[in-house]
Protein backbone atom coordinates (compact mmCIF):
# COMPACT_ATOMS: atom_id res chain seq x y z
CA UNK A 1 0.00 0.00 0.00
CA UNK A 2 2.66 2.49 0.98
CA UNK A 3 4.94 2.22 -2.10
CA UNK A 4 1.86 2.47 -4.31
CA UNK A 5 0.93 5.70 -2.57
CA UNK A 6 4.40 7.09 -3.17
CA UNK A 7 4.19 6.34 -6.87
CA UNK A 8 0.82 8.02 -7.20
CA UNK A 9 2.08 11.08 -5.34
CA UNK A 10 5.11 11.18 -7.62
CA UNK A 11 2.94 10.88 -10.73
CA UNK A 12 0.69 13.70 -9.59
CA UNK A 13 3.56 16.04 -8.86
CA UNK A 14 5.15 15.27 -12.24
CA UNK A 15 1.86 16.02 -13.98
CA UNK A 16 1.44 19.28 -12.06
CA UNK A 17 4.99 20.35 -12.81
CA UNK A 18 4.46 19.69 -16.52
CA UNK A 19 1.23 21.62 -16.80
CA UNK A 20 2.79 24.52 -14.91
CA UNK A 21 5.68 24.79 -17.36
CA UNK A 22 3.37 24.42 -20.36
CA UNK A 23 1.54 27.62 -19.51
CA UNK A 24 4.65 29.54 -18.49
CA UNK A 25 5.13 32.25 -21.10
CA UNK A 26 8.86 31.94 -21.54
CA UNK A 27 11.39 32.94 -18.94
CA UNK A 28 13.26 35.90 -17.61
CA UNK A 29 16.84 36.16 -18.78
CA UNK A 30 19.37 38.70 -17.57
CA UNK A 31 22.78 39.82 -18.80
CA UNK A 32 25.31 41.88 -16.88
CA UNK A 33 26.84 44.55 -19.07
CA UNK A 34 29.08 47.58 -18.46
CA UNK A 35 25.90 49.61 -18.99
CA UNK A 36 24.02 47.82 -16.25
CA UNK A 37 21.83 44.77 -16.23
CA UNK A 38 19.63 43.89 -19.22
CA UNK A 39 16.46 42.01 -18.35
CA UNK A 40 14.51 40.13 -20.98
CA UNK A 41 10.98 39.34 -19.82
CA UNK A 42 9.36 36.36 -21.51
CA UNK A 43 6.04 37.43 -20.04
CA UNK A 44 6.18 40.97 -21.43
CA UNK A 45 7.03 39.62 -24.88
CA UNK A 46 4.24 37.05 -24.64
CA UNK A 47 1.82 39.85 -23.64
CA UNK A 48 3.03 41.90 -26.62
CA UNK A 49 1.90 39.05 -28.86
CA UNK A 50 5.32 37.65 -29.72
CA UNK A 51 5.21 33.87 -30.22
CA UNK A 52 7.76 31.34 -28.95
CA UNK A 53 8.44 30.37 -32.56
CA UNK A 54 9.30 33.96 -33.49
CA UNK A 55 12.43 33.56 -31.35
CA UNK A 56 12.98 29.82 -30.90
CA UNK A 57 15.06 28.53 -32.29
CA UNK A 58 15.85 30.66 -35.32
CA UNK A 59 17.11 33.62 -33.22
CA UNK A 60 17.72 32.16 -29.75
CA UNK A 61 18.27 28.64 -28.45
CA UNK A 62 16.15 27.55 -25.50
CA UNK A 63 19.12 27.68 -23.18
CA UNK A 64 20.25 30.56 -21.03
CA UNK A 65 23.71 31.80 -21.87
CA UNK A 66 23.93 30.08 -25.25
CA UNK A 67 23.84 33.32 -27.25
CA UNK A 68 26.96 35.40 -27.71
CA UNK A 69 25.91 38.85 -28.83
CA UNK A 70 27.49 42.25 -28.97
CA UNK A 71 25.63 45.55 -28.97
CA UNK A 72 26.90 46.14 -32.53
CA UNK A 73 25.15 42.93 -33.64
CA UNK A 74 21.89 44.10 -32.09
CA UNK A 75 22.14 47.54 -33.73
CA UNK A 76 22.89 45.73 -37.01
CA UNK A 77 19.59 43.87 -36.77
CA UNK A 78 20.61 40.57 -35.25
CA UNK A 79 19.34 38.88 -32.05
CA UNK A 80 17.16 41.37 -30.12
CA UNK A 81 17.68 43.76 -33.07
CA UNK A 82 15.68 41.44 -35.35
CA UNK A 83 12.66 43.22 -33.87
CA UNK A 84 14.13 46.15 -31.95
CA UNK A 85 14.78 48.11 -35.13
CA UNK A 86 12.07 50.76 -34.83
CA UNK A 87 9.68 48.76 -37.00
CA UNK A 88 8.49 45.69 -35.12
CA UNK A 89 9.45 47.17 -31.74
CA UNK A 90 11.28 50.20 -30.30
CA UNK A 91 14.68 50.78 -31.88
CA UNK A 92 17.81 49.68 -30.01
CA UNK A 93 19.70 52.81 -31.04
CA UNK A 94 17.75 55.52 -29.22
CA UNK A 95 16.41 53.54 -26.30
CA UNK A 96 19.38 52.25 -24.31
CA UNK A 97 17.59 52.83 -21.02
CA UNK A 98 14.61 50.63 -21.82
CA UNK A 99 16.86 47.55 -21.88
CA UNK A 100 19.83 48.65 -19.79
CA UNK A 101 18.99 49.38 -16.18
CA UNK A 102 20.59 52.63 -15.13
CA UNK A 103 23.87 52.08 -13.35
CA UNK A 104 23.75 52.43 -9.62
**Which residues of this chain interact with ligand HEC, rule CB under 6 A?**
25-27, 29, 31, 33-35, 38, 40-42, 44-46, 48, 50, 52, 54-56, 59-67, 69-72, 74, 79-80, 82-84, 88-90, 92-93, 95-96, 98-100
CB of 7 to ligand HEC, least distance (A): 28
Of the two residues 6 and 18, which places its CB atom closer to ligand HEC in the complex?
18
CB of 19 to ligand HEC, least distance (A): 13
The radius of gyration computed from the CA coordinates of the chain, to the nearest angstrom, equals 19
Residue from 62, 59, 68 nearest 88 by CA = 59
CB 96 within 8 A of CB 88: no
Residue from 2, 63, 73 nearest 29 by CA = 63
CB 36 within 8 A of CB 103: yes
CB of 10 to ligand HEC, least distance (A): 23
Amino acid sequence: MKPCFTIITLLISVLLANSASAIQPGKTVTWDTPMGKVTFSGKNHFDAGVKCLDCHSKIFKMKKGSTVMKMDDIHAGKFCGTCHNGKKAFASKDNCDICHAKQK
